[in-house]
Amino acid sequence: MSLSELSVIARYFTGIGAGRDDVRLGVGDDGAILRVPPGRELAVTVDTLVEGVHFLADVDPETLGHKSLAVSLSDLAAMGADPAWATLALTLPSPDEVWLQAFAQGFDGLARAHGVNLVGGDTTRGPLSITVQAQGLLPAGQGLRRSGASPGDLIYATGTLGDAALALLAQQGLYVGSGRLDGLVSRLERPMPRVAEGLALRGLATAAIDISDGLGADLGHICEASGAGAWIDMTRLPCSEAVRAYIAETGDWALPLSGGDDYELCFTLAPERQGELEALAQRLGTPFTWIGLVEAQPGVRCQSEDGSLGSPPAGYDHFGRHD
Amino acid sequence: MSLSELSVIARYFTGIGAGRDDVRLGVGDDGAILRVPPGRELAVTVDTLVEGVHFLADVDPETLGHKSLAVSLSDLAAMGADPAWATLALTLPSPDEVWLQAFAQGFDGLARAHGVNLVGGDTTRGPLSITVQAQGLLPAGQGLRRSGASPGDLIYATGTLGDAALALLAQQGLYVGSGRLDGLVSRLERPMPRVAEGLALRGLATAAIDISDGLGADLGHICEASGAGAWIDMTRLPCSEAVRAYIAETGDWALPLSGGDDYELCFTLAPERQGELEALAQRLGTPFTWIGLVEAQPGVRCQSEDGSLGSPPAGYDHFGRHD
């Protein structure tokens, strides 16, 4: 007998993630029943990963399980939300038990690390794709948005930029440079969402977004939502040694600006609060790098080493670059 | 310039559904921010429809938009939840503007009818599939579950069973009977979730489920969750004239028991509350048909016209029947 839809869900996706008292009813009914504490608002985000677009067919299922949840937790981080619950809609060509077990394990590991319970899902037959909806909790009225940046605010990025894009180039055989590429594959395949940073930036940052489509494109979203523009100092972009070596060798300075899948945060800050941010960087051990300024003039302007100003290259666009 | 991911979402999926004061932040940020009223719990359900599995490539996009939301609202109905918010993850081979507009219109019509606001989504490139997550509100502790049925409870179904399955047989050219098939296509393509019935059954039904995989399979889920079994009187199954004609012509008595996509509700009721249910049927104008009894012995037993007992045929199973 072939594995039934129900047993796929029951066997691999029951008990995934952290246990939570606020899950009144989890996997196995028509839906889940969840309790939002008084004074909290609900943050909701959804992301789909499609084989051949977001990942290759031969990707390790354990890392895919991790990444499927990571991209949604990264969105919650950008809102300053405390991750709580997730649902998983999994479309599979066939129920491969080894694959499912590894996928569930990767999902479970990251879910437990962030206190997330998998509360429901749907398993269907079809070309491999994964849709995760993650839900988090926010003190009422305190969610970080894209729309709060004002001219004069400082622009920051967490961590380093372009590592995942460089790892992808290397995987595709398009780059075999002298830079150290070993550590980069995990940046592409197992991104760590900046959840602690997002929580700490609540009430401190004026606007925030996670960098999934490339810094230029995502900062552009902050600018549009805020009715403002931005100036970026390219020489300040935080890059790993490998990305610096790549830029030096190829002259492709745009990688940290347009490379997708970074899952770092880009945020804006009123200048008078720089001291608080420095204290936060100390406490979390996270590099926050000042990279530019919010300006009144719309658009994103990138200043190169020679002082010239240009537009950022296009970011990741499913119906643009990839058509 | 090709249509970008963001503009697809912005152009077609902003302002979809009913306006709601409890949506603090909707489509267009990293996620939505929603307010759950005090004393309410959150019901969450997710469903995926895949081209070639759940619908054919040439399906009318407006009806597909309707159905994508209907299947999730049907789950909320089975929980007795009041629909509030939805997210839409849409994977498309290419952004066809005519298709998107029609799809959005179908989604919007049903969303408005049930007071649902589309609060977020993700648009990706790939083989056509649609994942909708719907969220509803419940008075704390009052959600309908699958697990509350007790031996002696009466089993009911709303509406009629097997219409959608018969419409599918007719569409596939597998049935050209004398029954009137005209009205059946809408049962398949534009199911109307039993939201009002689900709300009214809260505090009255002991267990409930929506019939998406066929009555036999879905009643089986109630039995498993409740640690009980069921006896069904096949002669009592509520059928349309067309389904009655089909059974008479083909001898295939199993259609109303195993046909999927009905999106009716199956529920159980303590016998002493039959009077209340009759009053409810009057008020809503919905047929509630008594079809059997909950028994202590596990499993579902179907009694035919000649008095013989059998097991229900298998229900819809993505990794079973369709492999």
pLDDT (tens digit per residue) in A282-308: 999 999 999 999 999 999 999 988 888
pLDDT at A318 over 50: no
**Inter-residue contact A266 to A132 (CB < 8 Å):** no
Whose CA is closest to A46, among B124, B112, B37, B117? Answer: B124
Whose CA is closest to A100, among A68, A74, A70, A76? Answer: A68
User: Exposure of B52 by Cβ count < 10 A (0-12 exposed, 13-18 middle, 19+ buried)?
Assistant: middle
Within an 8 Å CB–CB cutoff, is residue B190 touching chain A? no
Question: In sequence order, what are the residues at sequence separation of 6 or more whose Cβ sits closer than 8 angstroms to the Cβ of residue B187?
Answer: B163, B164, B167, B261, B262
pLDDT for B200: 97
Burial A288-321 (b: 16+ CB within 10 A, else e): bbebbbbbeeeebbbbeeeeeeeebbbbbbbbbe
For residue A54, the chain B residues in CB contact (below 8 A) are 124
Within an 8 Å CB–CB cutoff, is residue A178 touching chain B? no
pLDDT in tens, A231-270: 999 999 999 999 999 999 998 888 999 888 899 999 999 9
Whose CA is closest to B288, among B272, B305, B264? Answer: B264
Check the CA dihedral B240-B241-B242-B248 and report its sign. positive
**Inter-residue contact B228 to B295 (CB < 8 Å):** yes
The three-state secondary structure class of B45 is strand
For residue A51, the chain B residues in CB contact (below 8 A) are 126
Q: Are residues B2 and A323, on separate chains, in Cβ contact within 8 Å?
A: yes
pLDDT for A287: 96
The three-state secondary structure class of A6 is helix
**Inter-residue contact A211 to A232 (CB < 8 Å):** no
Whose CA is closest to A195, among A158, A236, A149? Answer: A158
How large is the angle between the packed helices B97-113 and B61-79, nearest 10 degrees?
30
Under the phi-then-psi rule, with left for phi > 0, alpha for psi from -120 to 50, and beta for the rest, what region is B197?
Answer: alpha
* Residue among B124, B208, B323 whose CB faces A2 most closely: B323
Side chain identity at A233, as an amino acid letter? D
Q: How far is Cα A198 from Cα A204, in angstroms, rounded to an integer?
A: 10
**Residue owning tokens 């180039």:** A169
pLDDT for B134: 97
Average pLDDT over residues A13-23: 89
pLDDT for B315: 56
Q: How far is Cα A280 from Cα A301, in angstroms, rounded to an integer?
A: 28
For residue B124, the chain A residues in CB contact (below 8 A) are 48-50, 53-54, 129, 318
User: Exposure of A224 by Cβ count < 10 A (0-12 exposed, 13-18 middle, 19+ buried)?
Assistant: middle
Q: How far is Cα A310 from Cα B116, in angstroms, rounded to an integer?
A: 43
pLDDT for B321: 36
Q: How far is Cα B189 from Cα A322, in angstroms, rounded to an integer?
A: 33
**Inter-residue contact B12 to B65 (CB < 8 Å):** no
Within an 8 Å CB–CB cutoff, is residue A3 touching chain B? yes
Q: How far is Cα B148 from Cα B67, in angstroms, rounded to an integer?
A: 29
Chain A residues 6-35 within an 8 A CB cutoff of chain B? 6, 8, 24-25, 28-35
Within an 8 Å CB–CB cutoff, is residue B139 touching chain A? no
Given the cut 0.90, state whether the ipTM is greater than it. no
pLDDT for B179: 65
* Residue among B24, B44, B50 whose CB faces A31 most closely: B44
Interface test with B, best of A34, A96, A131 (most B CBs within 10 A): A131
pLDDT for A184: 86
Check the CA dihedral A255-A260-A261-A262 and report its sign. positive
pLDDT for A7: 60
Q: How far is Cα B318 from Cα B323, in angstroms, rounded to an integer?
A: 7
Residues of chain B with pLDDT under 50: 1-3, 318-323
Interface test with B, best of A30, A49, A51, A145 (most B CBs within 10 A): A30
Side chain identity at B138, as an amino acid letter? L
Q: How far is Cα B12 from Cα B23, in angstroms, rounded to an integer?
A: 19
Indicate the pTM of the whole model. 0.91
For residue B91, the chain A residues in CB contact (below 8 A) are 48, 50, 129
Residue A30 banded pLDDT, cuts 50, 70, 90? confident
If you count residue pairs, one on A and one on B, with CB atoms under 8 Å apart, how many are there? 237
Within an 8 Å CB–CB cutoff, is residue B205 touching chain A? no
Residue A321 banded pLDDT, cuts 50, 70, 90? very low
The two beta strands, B309-310 and B299-303, are: antiparallel
The Cα of A276 is separated from the nearest Cα of chain B by a number of Å equal to 25
Q: Are residues B6 and A221, on separate chains, in Cβ contact within 8 Å?
A: yes
Nearest CA in chain B to A127: B127
The token duo for A202 is 């609540």
pLDDT at A25 over 50: yes
Question: In sequence order, what are the residues at sequence separation of 6 or more whose Cβ sits closer than 8 angstroms to the Cβ of residue B58?
Answer: none
pLDDT in tens, A134-173: 999 999 999 999 999 999 999 999 999 999 999 989 888 8
- pLDDT mean across residues, chain A: 90
Side chain identity at B92, as an amino acid letter? L
Within an 8 Å CB–CB cutoff, is residue B280 touching chain A? no
For residue A53, the chain B residues in CB contact (below 8 A) are 124-126
pLDDT at A314 over 70: no
Q: Are residues B121 and A85, on separate chains, in Cβ contact within 8 Å?
A: no
Average pLDDT over residues A185-192: 89
Within an 8 Å CB–CB cutoff, is residue B323 touching chain A? yes
Nearest CA in chain A to B217: A6
Nearest CA in chain B to A41: B35
Q: Are residues A140 and B47, on separate chains, in Cβ contact within 8 Å?
A: no
> What are the Cα distances from residue A74, in Å, to A119, A199, A286, B173?
19, 11, 15, 48
Q: Are residues B32 and A43, on separate chains, in Cβ contact within 8 Å?
A: yes
pLDDT at A5 over 80: no
**Inter-residue contact A136 to B64 (CB < 8 Å):** no
- Return the percent helix, strand and coil in chain A, to nearest 5: 35, 25, 40
**Rg, Å, chain B Cα set:** 20
Write the secondary structure of A102-161 as one string of H (helix), E (strand) and C (coil). Answer: HHHHHHHHHHHHCCCEEEEEEEEECCCEEEEEEEEEEECCCCCCCCCCCCCCEEEEECCC
pLDDT for B7: 59
Within an 8 Å CB–CB cutoff, is residue A318 touching chain B? yes
pLDDT at A89 over 50: yes
Q: How far is Cα B272 from Cα B154, in angstroms, rounded to an integer?
A: 10
pLDDT for A310: 84
**Dihedral of the alpha carbons of B20, B24, B30, B36, in degrees to the nearest 10:** -80
* Residue among B87, B146, B323 whose CB faces A133 most closely: B87
The Cα of B142 is separated from the nearest Cα of chain A by a number of Å equal to 10
